[in-house]
Amino acid sequence: MAAETSVYPSFSVKDGSKLIYISRKEKLGREECSYGESGIKSICRASAEDGISFSIIDKDISYFKNSPLGQTQGKTVTIGKEQSFVIQYGAEGYNTEHYYIPLDVDSTLVITVDSTYDWGSRVSSPSRELVDQILSTFRFAE
């Protein structure tokens, strides 16, 4: 599903794609969700749902590595034989992982894994196994 997503630091991507659970899709646009710990109902939005999103940003991977959060919480990982970078953080029921994969000198593929809580119950987030399975399928031309 096409969805607006947020990519650290300070990018709002309107043409990214996000995979969310089909059971949550039915609620989108309705005032049936509460995100975080407030318990206040709000309109359900794909951008706030658990899921995995994919975006291409016109920035070199060093831009993300040199960001304040990248310098303090980032770590190097290997995805599809490429040296990549991940930043993980969370607060008040939101947990996010951003995987930054260099595509060329001027662009980076960003895979964002969002995990959220719906008041009173844990919304099923993408499992570590599912995320690792998706990341393991990436192959890059040499």
CA distance 50 to 52: 7
Of 15 and 134, more confident: 134
Instruction: Quote the radius of gyration of the chain (alpha carbons, Å).
Output: 15
pTM: 0.77
Q: Give pLDDT tens digits for 4-54.
A: 455 555 555 656 788 888 888 889 999 988 776 677 899 998 888 888 888
Residue 116 gets the label, from left (phi > 0), alpha (psi -120 to 50) or beta, of beta
At residue 131, the pLDDT reads: 81
Checking if the pLDDT of 123 tops 70, the result is no
Q: Give pLDDT tens digits for 65-85.
A: 888 888 888 888 888 777 888
CB count, 10 Å around CB of 33? 20
At residue 14, the pLDDT reads: 56
Q: Give pLDDT tens digits for 95-120.
A: 788 899 888 888 888 888 887 655 54
Distances (CA, A) of 69 to 49, 57, 102, 111, 117: 23, 17, 18, 17, 23
